[in-house]
Amino acid sequence: MTGWKLKPARDLGLPPAERLRSHGREAGLVGTLLQGAWRRLVRLYMAAMHRLSVTGRENLPAPPFVIVANHASHLDALAVGAALRGPAARRAHALAAGDTFFTSHAMAAFAAYAINALPVWRRRTRPKDLVTLRARLEEDGLVFILFPEGTRSRDGTMAAFQPGLGAFVAGSAVPVVPCWLEGAHEAWPPQRRWPRPGRLHLHIGAPLSFAETAQDREGWVQVAQRCEAAVRALAPR
C-alpha cells in the first residue's frame, strides 16, 4: 500500500498579515469553508442579477489550466469563477492587482479568503514571484484566472495582452483557455460605484497549448498574441 506523502504547508510559519499576501498561501479548513460559502453566494447573485449563461463549458480541461479573458469590469473574475464547477472551482485563483486588492488588512483578508485571489504587483512583481506562481500552478493542480490587459477597459474595448502571461505557460503542458465575457462593461463599468442588473454571457473557447513555445521574452510575446487573438475570436459579431 502506498503511504501518505505529507508536505508542510507553503505558508507555514508566516505571520498572518504576510500570509494573506503570500503566493504560497493555502486556504486551510476555515478558508476552505469561507470560500465554499462565497462561491454559492456569487452563483446565486450571478443568476439573480445577471442571468449568467455559459457556452463552451465542455472546453474546460481538468486542472491545472489558465483562463484568460477580456477585462472591462470588477464582475469579470466573479463571473468566470462562477462558471467553474467541481475541482476547478475549488482550485481557482484570480490573479488580482496587489495595489488594489491587497493594500489594507481588511481588503487583503476579503480577497484571500472570499475571492481566493493571489496578488500581482503591477510595478514590483519580482521574477521569483512568477517562478513561485508557475510552480504552484503545475505542482498543486491549480486554475489561474488572468486578465492580461492589465487593467479594466474604460470603454469596453479590449486592449492588447501583456506578455507577462507567457511566464506561466511558455514551454509548459498547462493549457490556456480563452474566454470572452459579454455584458460586464454595461452592468458595471469602471465609472460606476456599484453594479446594475444586466445579462452576462461567458463564451469559453478551445484550449491552447504552448508546450513548444520558448521560455524567453520572444516566447512570452507569442503567447500573449495567440491568446489575444483567440479571445477576440470569441467576441460576438
**Between vectors from CA 61 to CA 59 and to CA 7, what angle results, nearest 5°?**
160
What grid cell was written down for 86?
467541481
What is the pLDDT at residue 1? 44
Which residues are 65's β-sheet partners? 143
Tell me the pLDDT band of 206, cut-offs 50, 70 and 90. very high
Q: Which helix (H) or strand (E) holds 92?
A: strand 92-97
Q: Kindly report the average pLDDT of the chain as a whole number.
A: 89
- Summarize the confidence of residues 166-189 as an average pLDDT: 96
- Whether the per-residue pLDDT at 232 is higher than 90: the answer is yes
6: Cα within 13 Å, side-chain hemisphere? 2
Which residues are 55's β-sheet partners? 203
Q: Which helix (H) or strand (E) holds 81?
A: helix 75-83
Q: Which helix (H) or strand (E) holds 94?
A: strand 92-97
What is the pLDDT at residue 14? 66
Q: Which residue has the higher pLDDT, 42 or 115?
A: 42
Tell me the pLDDT band of 219, cut-offs 50, 70 and 90. very high
Q: Identify the residue whose cell numbers are 482550485.
A: 91
Give one DSSP letter per residue of 97-142, joined into a string.
EHHHHSSSHHHHHHHHHTS--EEE-TTT--HHHHHHHHHHHHHTT-
Of residues 169, 209, 186, the one with CA closest to residue 76: 186
Q: Which helix (H) or strand (E) holds 67?
A: strand 65-69
143 in helix, strand or coil? strand
Mind listing the pLDDT tens digit for each residue in 170-180? 999 999 999 99
Mind listing the pLDDT tens digit for each residue in 23-34? 777 877 777 888
31 burial type by CB count under 10 A (0-12 exposed, 13-18 middle, 19+ buried): middle
What is the pLDDT at residue 155? 93
What is the pLDDT at residue 33? 87
Within 111-233, strands assigned E span: 118-120, 143-146, 176-182, 201-204
Mind listing the pLDDT tens digit for each residue in 1-24? 455 555 666 655 667 677 777 777
Residue type, 97: A
